[in-house]
Amino acid sequence: MPKILVVGGGYAGFYTAWKLEKHLRQGEAEVTMVDPLPYMTYQPFLPEVAAGSIEPRHAVVSHRRHLKKTRVVTAKVTKVDHATKTATITPAEGEAWEESYDQIVMTAGAVSRTFPIPGVADEAIGLKTIEEAAAIRDKILTNFHKAANLPAGPERDRLLTVVVVGGGFAGIEVFAELRSFASDLLKSYPELSFDDTHFHLVEAMGRIMPEVSLETSHWVLENLASRGAVVHLETQLASAEGGICQLKAKDDSIETIPSDLIVWTAGVMANPMVKGTDFPLEQRGRIRVQPDLRVVDDEGVVADAWACGDVAAVPDLTGGGVGGFCVPNAQHAVRQAKQLAKNLVAVIRGEATTDYKHENLGAVAGLGLGTGVFQSGKFAMKGFLAWGAHRGYHGLAMPSWERKWRVIGDWVGGFFLGRDIASLDDRETPRAAFEAFASRPKPAVADEPKAVAAPAPAEGQPADAAGPAYATPAEDVSKDAAPVDAK
């Protein structure tokens, strides 16, 4: 049986495996999908997760629950040697191993692309993973708790200032969603007022959201301005050291904005893991493919190798793509994956492949509860109807009814009950509460009888806090364990 190896289980990888399960006959091929994460992330929902409208777990799709005929491996592919058709798979625990394959599908996606701006790597957070979105949500909530205890002043301002870098779709969506979230939160914080919250978005270009018309982008700018959210166009982040954002305008003037939450959404780049492969890459680091999604080099098709999604430079046959290639988005990734699965099965059966061609359907964005924009060609919708279109489209596009219902459930719950504003920030240190009071073994004291050794203080506790209030292991043994043994 031919072995198909799918590298990556995100949008493109998950759909490739899912559709291969559908198209392959019993015993026709064996599919293995490898991803370091046990789930596919529905990235278009990340802004709504960050804003507390969707529960983090509901925006991801478990691989093992939905891929019943695929062998799922939760590990990283760290090397591919297509010349010998072997991939090196490195798990989080245990030894790496080499996996041989007959056909390979590369779908390792993209990662946040940053520039060497001082402070960004240490202070900012991206928005590519569910963990980042959940952390942003908790950070906002925790900062509101902290700010509510502080008098007006620079420290409180810093906690209530959000800076988003990048005015593309993802940046504007998260910026607008977080503004909506913060405005909602103020109802629960009588200590804080609207004027205490500050939202700044930094965009190097002279406009936002290149996917929509200039007119629609102006409407978005006006909408944000009316909600107290400032967009700095033709401005670059010069430094974020110590959380102090230095915004450099076109005229070289510098504005300084201290912030405790800097979200970086200024672009993505092909996953650098492709450098550990022998596949041909184009100048932007993506794998070169031809329109039927087979990998190509200067000599022609690289046999038995496929790629799609953000990691691949897929020619856009409609002529609409940037530089002649499909733009990296979910709309393409999911359709390319479906075509790729069909083509791969066709090749196994000795049939002809079909080129990938997809006319852009348009773009739809949620800008906070009740507001959105939709653009398809010259047709644009703004406000409440567009927001409805955003939720309708993405609600249906979420893979599997099991996940659709969970997300729709969150929306219905949110409508009747409001957002859930409990922060679980302490899950970053989940053992802290237990550790603070945990009894520890007595330290071994040379040449002294053990009975006189004092119980060890818990970590972070003063020495006299260790003993009297809680039973030590020694006491447990004498009072409880001994009688049980005696029985």
Ligand X SMILES: Cc1cc2nc3c(=O)[nH]c(=O)nc-3n(C[C@H](O)[C@H](O)[C@H](O)COP(=O)(O)OP(=O)(O)OC[C@H]3O[C@@H](n4cnc5c(N)ncnc54)[C@H](O)[C@@H]3O)c2cc1C
Residues that bind ligand X (CB under 6 A): 7-13, 34-37, 43-44, 46-47, 76-77, 107-110, 127-128, 169-170, 271, 273, 309-311, 328-331, 333
- Nearest approach, Cβ of residue 5 and ligand X (Å): 10
Q: Minimal CA–CA distance to 41: which of 108, 139, 128, 126?
A: 128
- Nearest approach, Cβ of residue 368 and ligand X (Å): 15
Question: With respect to ligand X, which residue has the nearer C-beta, 166 or 455?
Answer: 166
| Cβ-proximal residues to 208 (8 Å cutoff; 6+ apart), any chain | 167, 168, 171, 172, 201, 217, 220, 221, 231, 233
- Nearest approach, Cβ of residue 366 and ligand X (Å): 9
- Nearest approach, Cβ of residue 271 and ligand X (Å): 5
- Nearest approach, Cβ of residue 330 and ligand X (Å): 3
Question: With respect to ligand X, which residue has the nearer C-beta, 45 or 144?
Answer: 45
> What are the residues facing 433 on neighbouring strands?
none
Question: With respect to ligand X, which residue has the nearer C-beta, 144 or 175?
Answer: 175
Q: Which residue has its beta carbon closest to ligand X?
A: 10
By DSSP bridging, strand 254-258 and strand 3-7 are unpaired
DSSP of 1-15: --EEEEE--SHHHHH
Question: With respect to ligand X, which residue has the nearer C-beta, 130 or 147?
Answer: 130
Question: With respect to ligand X, which residue has the nearer C-beta, 107 or 339?
Answer: 107
- Alpha-carbon distance 88 to 265, whole Å? 31
- Nearest approach, Cβ of residue 161 and ligand X (Å): 21
Q: Which helix (H) or strand (E) holds 39?
A: strand 39-41
Backbone torsions φ then ψ of 316, nearest 5 degrees: -95, 105
Give the distance from CA 340 to its chain's centroid. Answer: 24
Task: Work out the angle at residue 396's Cα, subtended by the Cα atoms of residues 392 and 402, and round it to the nearest 5 degrees.
Answer: 130
- Nearest approach, Cβ of residue 197 and ligand X (Å): 22
Q: Which tokens sit at 345?
A: 């099965």
- Alpha-carbon distance 59 to 52, whole Å? 12
Give the distance from CA 483 to its chain's centroid. Answer: 54
By DSSP bridging, strand 363-366 and strand 312-313 are unpaired
- Nearest approach, Cβ of residue 461 and ligand X (Å): 40
Question: With respect to ligand X, which residue has the nearer C-beta, 10 or 315?
Answer: 10
> Where on the phi/psi map is residue 250: left (φ > 0), alpha (ψ -120 to 50), or beta?
alpha
Question: With respect to ligand X, which residue has the nearer C-beta, 9 or 243?
Answer: 9
Question: With respect to ligand X, which residue has the nearer C-beta, 119 or 166?
Answer: 166
